């Protein structure tokens, strides 16, 4: 039996390209090259039926270490809490005030990109502090 070595994380969203570009900025990811035979993603999109144009986008870790993120347009909006979320590891190895300062600095950078700060989850003895945030379409993620 073979084991899976790669994963892709898929987001349902209203504006796939916009959300993909947001996550590229958050994670230092890049938009992959367009499909073979197309000079640009716009060229590729124009080859699709109108109802499928702009219906998907993606971003990848340029180092190849992180998972591919895929964004697909869906008709319904987000209405409940995510059952899965990303932890953006902005404070790894830090504790106390130093960790909070790193999380706050990253929060400010992401807020400038359109993210929304939801709340601080303070350290509780077993876990260090983290910040709950939302991306530009309201998907929760944590600065951890």
pLDDT in tens, 18-77: 999 999 999 999 999 888 888 887 778 778 788 777 788 999 999 999 999 999 999 887
| Average pLDDT of the chain to the nearest whole number | 90
Domain that holds residue 119: 86-143
Quote the pLDDT of residue 87. Answer: 94
Question: Who's near 132: CB < 8 A, 6+ residues apart?
Answer: 117, 118, 119, 120, 121, 140, 141, 142
Does residue 144 surpass a pLDDT of 80?
yes
For 49, phi then psi, to 5°, come to -60, 150
Q: How many domains does the chain have?
A: 2
* Domain end marker among 73, 107, 126: 73
121 within domain boundaries: yes
Quote the pLDDT of residue 1. Answer: 65
Going by their DSSP bridges, the two strands 8-13 and 68-73 should be labelled as parallel
Quote the pLDDT of residue 126. Answer: 82
Q: Are residues 93 and 63 in the same domain?
A: no
Q: Are residues 90 and 68 in the same domain?
A: no
80 within domain boundaries: no
């Amino acid at each position: 039996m073979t084991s899976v070595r790669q994963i892709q994380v898929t987001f349902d969203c209203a504006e796939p390209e916009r959300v993909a570009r947001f996550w590229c900025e958050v994670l230092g990811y890049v938009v992959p090259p367009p499909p073979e035979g197309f000079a640009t993603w716009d060229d590729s999109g124009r080859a699709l039926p109108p109802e499928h144009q702009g219906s998907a986008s993606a971003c990848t870790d340029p180092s190849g270490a992180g998972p591919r993120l895929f964004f697909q347009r869906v008709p319904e909006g987000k209405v409940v809490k995510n059952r899965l979320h990303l932890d953006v590891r902005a404070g790894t190895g830090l504790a106390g005030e130093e960790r909070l300062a790193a999380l706050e600095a990253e929060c400010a950078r992401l807020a400038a990109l359109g993210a929304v700060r939801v709340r601080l989850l303070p350290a509780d003895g077993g876990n260090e502090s983290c910040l709950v945030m939302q991306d530009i379409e309201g998907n929760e993620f944590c600065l951890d």
